[in-house]
Structure 1
Amino acid sequence: MAHALLFQLLLLTALAAPSQGNRFGPTSSLRYSRFLDPSNVVFLRWDFDLDAEIITFELRVRTAGWVGLGITDRYTRAGSDLVVGGVSPDGRVYFSDQHMVDEDTLEEDGSQDAELQGLTEDAVYTTMRFSRPFRSCDPQDRDITSDTVRVLAAYGPDDTPKLDRERMFVKSIFLLQIVHPDDLDAPEDTIIHDLEITDFLIPEDDTTYACTFLPLPIVGKKHHIYKFGPKLVPHKETMVHHILVYACGNASALPTGISDCYGADPAFSLCSQVIVGWAVGGTSYQFPDDVGISIGTPLDPQWIRLEIHYSNFHNLPGVYDSSGIRIYYTAQLRKYDMGVLQLGFFTFPIHFIPPGAESFMSYGLCKTDKFEEMNGAPVPDIQVYGYLLHTHLAGRALQAVQYRNGTQLRTICKDDSYDFNLQETRDLPYRVVIKPGDELLVECHYQTLDRDSLTFGGPSTINEMCLIFLFYYPRNNVSSCMGYPDIIYVAHELGEEASDSMEGMMAMNNVEWTPENIKKAEKACKEAQQTVIIKTIDELVENTTGWIPEIVPTPRGPCLESSGGKVEPQDQTPAGFRAVPEALSISSAATPSRLPLAAFLLGQGALSWLLATLQAGV
């Protein structure tokens, strides 16, 4: 009887206790991890709840002193957000939400928005776990967004938080990664195949685009490629900038050997439909479980063009390379055949960016109303699930915006903190539908304060590009849809004479690039009529024209209310903030957890009753 009563009591207490809405408690597993320093001393784990807009970090550092983790920006450490904690020699835990007043000084925030979940120190490591809102109402906290985030870690040898540049590290990370590879299926019948250049002597030039044509795996029935990743040969310095795999139309007459992709032989630039791509900073990527690249049917490409961009800035001689792309394929078919649509500014020959620009925007328009004609068959709705962003060194931000019937629908993808050294395929939080007739606009934001001459669009790393690759299903034959402005109009707006595109581009060299003329050029490029170039896998080309629509900025959502925080004027919500979800307001592991009063009284009363019953011998 006593055992039955005890069971009922435990059940009653469990029902009375609050549910822990935050699934990332002090001991729960966090899916993502990264070393933040080159010596692998500073290790970060993290995970997040998109609905609650809460992120949990766990920082482990090989030190017996203090540790700190936060967010900074590209240009300065001043104003950086840093959560600091440690365990003093007497075993006391200290923990505080702080910020950097300047490069060397820390100051505690007036609003404490980080919640401690655990702080431990052993003979080797100090480990700190805490959670924080994506966006608090404290202007001293930096937002966690779907952009690239520059994560700042710092630590010290003792328990006096003092900043030391030798113990501070910044790493660009896409924190809000939607899909983790461990959550995806890995078929047991997986076959691995490498598409690679073999023993290629890298020229001593700054930039080389090496291309070769390779067959896809020969299979007797349809298979799906479900994963790809870079196959890189280590060198003394990183020379491989990006690798692209283009599908070739089966009617193409392809050359043999290895040659310059964009050199004297135009045959080496054939095949323009990207099927997979990797760029510096990226890792392997696995498609969602319902999509894959189809191979093995008469409609599938049989050959690909492998393009490897080498940056040999130190002009090193005698370096051989055998890099490429490793693909993983299976006979276990997915529901959809995927494709890749390339958007942006048509790279040659019109693109230019003035020198000395604090900010300069470029635009590339895509109009989809000719897709069905170009495809040769009806085009189903395009379901976009992922993307890859690409500019070179002057790029600061990119976004792709969708319009329907002249009205802006949504921002498909963006990165307001783009980092050239972190170019990776990313998943969307939801699938975006593009219908025939929609317009797609790519906006690229550049900064050239460190340049004293024009930057032109081109293949070299010191040239520029403005591209976004959309990963979608079901596949169609359209490979790219990109635009460029009427350069003659732009030249005239800048007071220069030009009668054709070449004269228009040459005229840009005559302009005195004052801040006023930079803004005038940006305005003229945006107002000029765009030529839109649409290409198919079989190299069919169709041109149309259009105009750049306005982009309506997406307002930021509400911040999470916190102790001492103030609502910022730009918060576009009636109240300006929202309360932290009750289930997420769990006290830290460093203090005793609290139960609601009713649950506490209920538990106390039930326990007293049980003890009295047992003593009575029931």
Structure 2
Amino acid sequence: MMWLWSAFIVSLSLFTIDRCYGISSSISPFIQYKHSIELEDNVADLWWTLDDAEREITFELHVKTTGWISLGISPAGGMKGADIGVGWVDSKGNVHFQDRYASDFAKPMIDNTTTDWFAIRGREQNGWTAIQFKRLLDTCDSMDYPIKHKILVDFGNRDIVHHLLLHECTPSTIFDDNNLPSGVCDEIMSQVESCSTNFVTVWAVGGDYMVEYIEEVGYPVGDASFTKYYMIQMHYENTRRHSNRRDSSGIRFYLSNELRQHDLGYITFGTMSNLFGLAIPPLVERFVIDSYCPAKVTRVRCHFF
């Protein structure tokens, strides 16, 4: 048996999909990258490519300034605990880069343990500063924050991805592994009925991009008595009727042979959703939907963490 912990992943992937996502910089990037994002309109742009083999990531940051520029990686999106690379280009065209760490919302200190941000090249042009640099995904440095994979919501489709559900198929489910069901839910529902009941995890817009179990708990996979197949159900909100959109959103799983103390168990509460079951009547100030949990469901002792 093996253990699995799932991390919801946000992949900042940009695809060619009938429209262009703006890049403000007047400077062309040094090389081609797999991903890019405009961090702030006419202020900052970022490109990056992940090298899985070397376990490192190459960035290129363009900022509309002729001073120093920086990129931070942090646990919660703020300065506290952030690993920060700071760089600038001097009057002779030389690139300088520093590895810094922010213990709080204050001036980041120099990381005097190891240097893990490495400048490759840079230049100033037309009032913009552009620096290419690289960093390991996980430096094993206590003053660095590891770059982790989280939920894969394709950046190019973040305007239409609404939520996703990971279903656990019953252990008796059998599919042709060379021809697994895939397609629009209504068109394949009869083929995947055995996979539509149990939920492993869910994510929706506004939710956390990463869900981790506590150290004592793991989700068991791989034993003959456990589930072999899982199904991802994606829901889209395509109000603008875009066509020819390709989406690579999903979930990445991590397996380990190191078993944890407890197997994960779960219980789902809620009201079954259908066309009318959750409909709110018009012009009401307050509307209550009652759900009932039969006594037999809670006869098994549950331990909530």
Question: Normalization by structure 1: what TM-score?
Answer: 0.28
Q: CA deviation at 1:71?
A: 1.1
Tell me the alpha carbon deviations over residues 347-371 of structure 1, each in whole angstroms, 9 at most, x when there is no partner: xxxxxxxxxxxxxxxxxx53141x4
Task: Identify the match of residue 249 of structure 2 among 401, 405, 426.
Answer: 426
Task: Identify the match of residue 148 of structure 2 among 145, 161, 168.
Answer: 145
Q: Which residue of 2 aligns with 1:246?
A: none
Distance (whole Å) between structure 2 residues aligned to residue 50 and residue 384 of structure 1: 29
Q: CA deviation at 1:487?
A: 6.4
Higher RCO (CA < 8 A, seq sep 6+): 2
Aligned 8 A contact 1:343 1:366 in 2: no
Task: Identify the match of residue 121 of structure 1 among 120, 124, 127.
Answer: 124
Aligned 8 A contact 2:101 2:108 in 1: yes
Aligned 8 A contact 2:44 2:62 in 1: yes
- Show structure 2 runs of 5+ residues with no match: 1-28, 183-200, 213-218, 233-246, 254-263, 274-292
Question: Following superposition of structure 1 onto structure 2, how do residues 41-52 of structure 1 map, counting pairs within 5 Å?
Answer: 41-52=43-54
Distance (whole Å) between structure 1 residues aligned to residue 295 and residue 102 of structure 2: 46
The reply to whether residue 279 of structure 1 matches residue 282 of structure 2 is no
The reply to whether residue 380 of structure 1 matches residue 176 of structure 2 is yes
Q: CA deviation at 1:394?
A: 5.4
Assess, with a 3 A threshold, how the Cα gap between structure 1 residues 61 and 76 changes in structure 2: closer, same or farther.
Answer: closer
Q: What SS is found at the alignment partner of 2:304?
A: helix
Q: Which residue of 1 aligns with 2:84?
A: 82
Question: Following superposition of structure 1 onto structure 2, how do residues 185-584 of structure 1 map, counting pairs within 5 Å?
Answer: 278-279=161-162, 343-344=166-167, 365-369=168-172, 371=173, 379-381=175-177, 390-391=203-204, 393=206, 395=208, 397-398=210-211, 402-406=221-225, 425-426=248-249, 488-490=296-298, 522=304
Q: Which residue of 2 aligns with 1:65?
A: 67
Distance (whole Å) between structure 2 residues aligned to residue 443 and residue 89 of structure 1: 61
What letter corresponds to residue 108 of structure 1 in structure 2?
I
Q: Which residue of 1 aligns with 2:33?
A: 30
Q: CA deviation at 1:146?
A: 2.2
Aligned 8 A contact 1:32 1:47 in 2: yes
Assess, with a 3 A threshold, how the Cα gap between structure 1 residues 98 and 105 changes in structure 2: closer, same or farther.
Answer: same
What letter corresponds to residue 130 of structure 2 in structure 1?
T
Aligned 8 A contact 2:169 2:231 in 1: no
Tell me the alpha carbon deviations over residues 230-289 of structure 1, each in whole angstroms, 9 at most, x when there is no partner: 9x8xxxxxxxxx6xxxxxxxxxxxxxxxxxxxxxxxxxxxxxxxxxxx328xxxxxxxxx
What letter corresponds to residue 71 of structure 1 in structure 2?
I
Aligned 8 A contact 1:85 1:96 in 2: yes
Q: What SS is found at the alignment partner of 1:69?
A: strand
Assess, with a 3 A threshold, how the Cα gap between structure 1 residues 103 and 412 changes in structure 2: closer, same or farther.
Answer: farther
Q: What SS is found at the alignment partner of 2:169?
A: strand
What letter corresponds to residue 249 of structure 2 in structure 1?
R
Distance (whole Å) between structure 1 residues aligned to residue 181 and residue 139 of structure 2: 31
Percentage of matched positions with identical amino acids = 22
Q: Which has the higher strand share?
A: 1
Assess, with a 3 A threshold, how the Cα gap between structure 1 residues 52 and 366 changes in structure 2: closer, same or farther.
Answer: same
Q: CA deviation at 1:67?
A: 0.6
Distance (whole Å) between structure 2 residues aligned to residue 458 and residue 40 of structure 1: 47
Question: Following superposition of structure 1 onto structure 2, how do residues 107-186 of structure 1 map, counting pairs within 5 Å?
Answer: 107-110=109-112, 111-148=114-151
Aligned 8 A contact 2:118 2:134 in 1: yes
Q: CA deviation at 1:96?
A: 0.6
Assess, with a 3 A threshold, how the Cα gap between structure 1 residues 366 and 142 changes in structure 2: closer, same or farther.
Answer: same
What letter corresponds to residue 403 of structure 1 in structure 2?
G
Aligned 8 A contact 1:83 1:96 in 2: yes
- Show structure 1 runs of 5+ residues with no match: 1-25, 149-172, 182-228, 233-241, 243-277, 281-340, 345-364, 373-378, 414-423, 431-440, 445-454, 460-484, 494-519, 524-618
Assess, with a 3 A threshold, how the Cα gap between structure 1 residues 487 and 147 changes in structure 2: closer, same or farther.
Answer: farther
Assess, with a 3 A threshold, how the Cα gap between structure 1 residues 78 and 126 changes in structure 2: closer, same or farther.
Answer: same
Distance (whole Å) between structure 2 residues aligned to residue 384 and residue 131 of structure 1: 40
Aligned 8 A contact 2:65 2:127 in 1: yes
Aligned 8 A contact 2:169 2:228 in 1: no
Q: CA deviation at 1:44?
A: 0.5
Distance (whole Å) between structure 2 residues aligned to residue 407 and residue 106 of structure 1: 48
Tell me the alpha carbon deviations over residues 217-242 of structure 1, each in whole angstroms, 9 at most, x when there is no partner: xxxxxxxxxxxx69x8xxxxxxxxx6
Distance (whole Å) between structure 2 residues aligned to residue 114 and residue 82 of structure 1: 9
Aligned 8 A contact 1:86 1:94 in 2: yes
Distance (whole Å) between structure 1 residues aligned to residue 58 and residue 137 of structure 2: 10
Assess, with a 3 A threshold, how the Cα gap between structure 1 residues 49 and 396 changes in structure 2: closer, same or farther.
Answer: closer
Distance (whole Å) between structure 2 residues aligned to residue 105 and residue 457 of structure 1: 50
Q: What SS is found at the alignment partner of 1:367?
A: coil
Q: Which residue of 1 aligns with 2:99?
A: 97
Tell me the alpha carbon deviations over residues 72-93 of structure 1, each in whole angstroms, 9 at most, x when there is no partner: 2336420111100012346553
Assess, with a 3 A threshold, how the Cα gap between structure 1 residues 147 and 368 changes in structure 2: closer, same or farther.
Answer: same
Distance (whole Å) between structure 2 residues aligned to residue 442 and residue 40 of structure 1: 49
Aligned 8 A contact 1:54 1:131 in 2: yes
Distance (whole Å) between structure 2 residues aligned to residue 146 and residue 384 of structure 1: 27
